[in-house]
Chains A and B, each alone.
Chain A
Amino acid sequence: MMTAEDKKILERFPLLINSDIVYLDSAATTQKPAEVLKAVDDYYKTSNANPLRGLYELSVKATDIYEEARKKTADFINASSDEIVFTRNATESLNLIAYSYALNTLKPGDEVVVSIAEHHSNMLPWQFACKKTGAVLRYAECTKEGLLTPNMLEKLLTDKTKIVAIAQVSNVFGCENDIQSFVSLVHEKGAVFVCDGAQSVPHMKVDVRALGVDFMAFSGHKMYAPMGIGVLYTKKEILENMDPFLYGGEMIEYVTTEGATYAEVPHKFEAGTVNAGGAAGLSKAIDFINDIGFDYIEKRESYLSELMMTELRKIPHVNIIGDDNPSNHHGIVTFTVDDVHPHDIAAILDSDKIAVRAGHHCAQPLLKYLGVMSTARASMAVYNNSDDVMRFAESVKSLRKRLGYN
């Protein structure tokens, strides 16, 4: 039964309260709280002008909102404002590193290391950068639970290693990597560490200084903010020495027909008109997370993961992928059902108004490595409750029968 507490959180999400959908695809994108939608609306209703350029009051107001969002984002992950570049999403952030850092740093024979479990967003940019520069891309393997240990990583590191790019939390397994240990190993070799935080930043307190990472990429839309605003954290001394990613307006200090002097970081990396409305939404989404608190978020998501795994384990022919320990799932439960293709799982669940992801989760090399064609994934966020999990389990229980199996 839904508790008063469940209801109080749910009521903050207009899409969910106005429908009977059980939304279990939060690892793809979260639903948005009313206060975030209002912040975007308010920005356009009361403060909209082109930020960073106008010499009039309204533009100054827009600039303030945009820069306050940067400050709030920096505080949220314990960085400073000039280390935060706003992008569209984690994918763009990772591409920015590949174009502006990797292409200018890598030499033929250098090595880049990623894990086999990476999302395509943290794999394809490195494939591209290696191909362009003649560097070699090496893959760290993981256990069938999705874990990559410092030991497994260490074996791949050499004096030629220049970049190591690994996600903090896997979008398939939901398990957390020991980033701090990875970073010390990588720094010993004089390489930089790129962390994909898309699945961690929304679910746990992330402190970039404590982790020691050189880069951290994440998306606003997976943490209750609107689509189209993402974040790249880069250590200031690295960011200052990087070339711009995109060229255009408001990223220059001075420009002639022959060349230009670039603006200071981080603006040097934000060419063209920025997404100030999205930044206003992100700022409010961070308020929302801080208001609820990571202690509560982690407790709730761990409880729901445990309940979901317990219920799924009761159902014959259901196989859960990843760690046995629910607290190492961060709301992500990936599974298969014997003889039932994941697309059929998603279609039948959809007819019961339950939204899950099915397919390869943008991690084709991983699934090939695990020897499965594709899987179904249920992923939760703070607005989910035990009713959602029970409705989901009930529907999964009926799957094989509805497909004609005994």
Chain B
Amino acid sequence: MASTFYNEVLTDHNINPEHKHSLPEANYTLEGVNPSCGDDIILNLRIEDGIIKDGSYEGSGCAISQASADMMLDLILGKTIEEAEKLSEIFLRMIKGSVSEVELESLEEASILQDISHMPARVKCAVLGWHTLDEIINKSKE
């Protein structure tokens, strides 16, 4: 049986997500959808004084989209929106296949999705949460 990038870290985030719940105190909520495959993520964030104080996601989708959103929230909670923006930029660059070792380390567990760059059909799943985050950050700056 061939090995896959569905390793323990990824499947654990999918099956036992830490951040998959509602967040009544959120002041930013945005739904991100991949129409082609039906991945659907609602990202909830509480942003105060430029800091991501709390966050969660809801929705449904494949293991990659779900685990990626969960790992993303692990990374960005407590960070400033500038720091989150930088991580998002690094993550999206990692998916495109151009990232340094140091940058990769800054992504912590999310770096296990690096190999997705070889699977163009699944890139959309991995970046859905991050794209939704970028849109919320842009909105919070308005």
Contacts and interface: CB of A to CB of B under 8 A. Distances in A.
A and B assemble together: yes
Contact of A341 (B11, B12, B63): B63
Contact of A359 (B14, B36, B60, B122): B36
Contacts of B8: 404
Contact of A352 (B1, B62, B64): B1
B102 interface: no
A344 B4 CA distance: 11
Contacts of A352: 1-2
A242 to B, nearest CB: 34
B62 A348 contact: no
B4 A404 contact: no
Interface of A is mostly: mixed
A403 interface: yes
Contacts of B64: 343-344, 347
Interface string B103-129: 000000000000000010010010000
Contact of A347 (B3, B38, B122): B122
A348 B4 contact: yes
A403 B3 contact: no
Contacts of A341: 61-63
Interface in B8-39: 8, 11-12, 14-15, 36-38
A284 interface: no
B60 A373 contact: yes
A403 B1 contact: no
Contacts of A339: 15
Contacts of A340: 63
A358 B63 CA distance: 14
A403 B14 CA distance: 9
Given A341-B62, A374-B38, A404-B11, A398 B122 contact: no
Given A341-B63, A403-B6, A404-B15, A347 B119 contact: yes
Interface in A377-406: 395, 398, 402-405
Nearest to B124: A343
Given A343-B62, A343-B125, A405 B1 contact: no
B9 to A, nearest CB: 10
Contacts of B119: 347
Contacts of B63: 340-341, 344, 403
A403 B11 contact: yes
B15 A405 contact: yes
B138 to A, nearest CB: 28
The 4 tightest CB contacts between A and B, nearest first, are: A404-B11, A341-B62, A343-B62, A351-B2
